[in-house]
Amino acid sequence: MKYYSTNGNSELVDFREATLKGQAPDKGLYFPVNIPELNASLLSDMYVLSKEEIAYEIMQPYIGSCINKNSLQDIIAETIAFTFPLIQLDEDSYVLELFHGPTLAFKDVGARFMSRCLGYFSKLHSKKTTVLVATSGDTGGAVANGFANVEGVEVIILYPAGKVSPVQELQLTTGGNNITAFRVNGSFDDCQAMVKTAFTDADLNKALQLTSANSINIARWLPQQLYYFFALQQWPEKKISPMVSVPSGNLGNIAAGLLAKKSGLALNKFIAACNINDTISNFLETGKHNAIQTKMTISNAMDVGNPSNLVRIMEIYKSNPDIIKTILKGSTHTDEETADTISSVFRGKGYLLDPHGAVGYAALKKELKEKEKGFFLATAHPVKFPATVETITGIKLEIPDAIKPLYALPQKMTDIEPSFLALKEWLLNR
């Protein structure tokens, strides 16, 4: 498989090159030259295949000959070594729980896959890769965990001081020796600006093989389509294609779902479930995308005003707005609605949602019509947002076993001012 840049001014590359570069040189996003079509027998066999088998069949065409069969099978097995349960909540709605990975958010899958691919490539080419990533919380934890002790790869994470939750900070700062966490005396936007400048800095690019671990990286983005296959493997309503509601920010997760649908997976419409930082609804109405200044919400992983993966959605549908409109819908939800949803689902069904999943559930219930059924993605465990969830429900959350050992580990972080030069100095002179 070859990948082109969505800006159209970079050379075609293979999977390895696209992963190592992260972003294309013309600052576009990499996209596969063709979307593989699933053959009918794979679709009908899906219910009897293991999740590892189906995952291999889906991912292999995207990787081509860049990773040999046995290694790719191992990488995939490690990537998805936990459960993805689909649970019924109402007559017409189900939840796909994506928070059973080591850092309790769906980003584990992409981070684990990408880290292992980079580890594989660095073994073959003996050049060390430096992964640079800015995080508002969940991405950094998943990346720190996924890349811990992967040989030939070092990871530099920038996070804003005082703006991540205690559990998130533990996940960021207790990683392996190849992980460096910078606590930036500034905002998430400062962190992101430092990282973006680094990718365009000639001195740094000469000295280091730099790549990004955000969902712009193809190796983080592509495996996210697997969730939708795992959901359909468990989908009990064989005669009804499910509506899918995806809590959305940068639109990486939903774009991966649309890719799966385009390959032939029997999914009905998609809902981009957003908080008030919704730019997609307006885009679908007007055909024009306007970036907005982000506002803070209680579903903060979705506080994105200029979603980078919108271009990938456009590519999937060859930029035809009329087709996109028949498949995708936006849905906006305020913090008040989110809190009411967490509260009513907890009281009515004894099921605890995190603020992101709650937006997904509210959007699904709003859009489902009579005779339709669907599922939404629960993208994070409620314990990652204890202050919000405990205030709304009045209960005290238990620390899950996956997190407990972190409290015993020493936290390592380096304080830094929000200055690109300070970061550059450190990277070049250590």
Ligand X SMILES: *Cc1c(COP(=O)(O)O)cnc(C)c1O
Roughly what angle, to the nearest 10 degrees, separates helices 226-234 and 252-263? 60
Please count the other Cβ atoms lying within 10 Å of the Cβ belonging to residue 36: 16
| Nearest distance, CB of residue 74 and ligand X, angstroms | 26
Binding-site member from 138, 169, 201, 278 for ligand X (CB under 6 A):
138
Q: Report the residue number, 24 or 109, with the smaller CB distance to ligand X.
A: 109
Binding-site member from 141, 175, 223, 247 for ligand X (CB under 6 A):
247
CB burial of 191-215 (b: ≥16 within 10 Å; e: otherwise) equals bbbbbbebbebeebeeebbbbbbbb
Q: Report the residue number, 102 or 252, with the smaller CB distance to ligand X.
A: 252
Question: Contact, 19 vs 124, CB < 8 A?
Answer: no
- How far apart are alpha carbons 373 and 92 in whole angstroms? 5
Binding-site member from 22, 146, 252, 330 for ligand X (CB under 6 A):
252
Q: Report the residue number, 19 or 224, with the smaller CB distance to ligand X.
A: 224
Binding-site member from 251, 259, 298, 328 for ligand X (CB under 6 A):
251
| Nearest distance, CB of residue 6 and ligand X, angstroms | 17
- How far apart are alpha carbons 295 and 301 in whole angstroms? 12
Q: Report the residue number, 10 or 19, with the smaller CB distance to ligand X.
A: 19
Judged by CB under 6 A, does residue 51 bind ligand X? no
| Nearest distance, CB of residue 137 and ligand X, angstroms | 7
* Strand, helix or coil for residue 1: coil
Closest CA to 382 of 343, 333, 334: 343
Binding-site member from 212, 241, 250, 263 for ligand X (CB under 6 A):
250
Judged by CB under 6 A, does residue 271 bind ligand X? no
* Distance (Å) of CA 403 to CA 149, 156, 323, 408: 19, 22, 43, 10
Q: Total residues at the site for ligand X (CB under 6 A)?
A: 16
Q: Which of 107, 261, 373, 384 is catalytic?
A: 107
Binding-site member from 241, 245, 379, 388 for ligand X (CB under 6 A):
379
Q: Restricting to residues 185-214, which ones interact with ligand X according to CB under 6 A?
A: none
Closest CA to 166 of 354, 386, 428: 386
Binding-site member from 253, 275, 388, 393 for ligand X (CB under 6 A):
253
Across-strand partners of 4? Answer: 31
Q: Restricting to residues 101-130, which ones interact with ligand X according to CB under 6 A?
A: 105, 107
Judged by CB under 6 A, does residue 356 bind ligand X? yes
Q: Which stretch binds ligand X (CB under 6 A): 49-57, 73-81, 111-119, 244-252?
A: 244-252
Could you tell me the two tokens for 200? 């365009």
| Nearest distance, CB of residue 45 and ligand X, angstroms | 29
Question: Contact, 254 vs 261, CB < 8 A?
Answer: no
Could you tell me the two tokens for 347? 């009281």
Judged by CB under 6 A, does residue 136 bind ligand X? no
Helices (H), 208-309: 218-221, 226-234, 252-263, 280-286
107 catalytic residue (yes or no):
yes
**Which are the contacts of 108, defined by CB distance < 8 A and separation ≥ 6?**
82, 101, 102, 142, 145, 146
Q: Report the residue number, 216 or 416, with the smaller CB distance to ligand X.
A: 216
- How far apart are alpha carbons 192 and 210 in whole angstroms? 15
Question: Contact, 243 vs 373, CB < 8 A?
Answer: yes
| Nearest distance, CB of residue 380 and ligand X, angstroms | 3
| Nearest distance, CB of residue 247 and ligand X, angstroms | 4
Q: Which stretch binds ligand X (CB under 6 A): 32-40, 248-256, 263-271, 404-412?
A: 248-256
Judged by CB under 6 A, does residue 248 bind ligand X? yes
| Nearest distance, CB of residue 105 and ligand X, angstroms | 5
Q: Restricting to residues 289-348, which ones interact with ligand X according to CB under 6 A?
A: 301-302
Active site residues: 107
Which residues sit at the interface with ligand X, rule CB under 6 A?
A: 105, 107, 138, 215, 247-253, 301-302, 356, 379-380
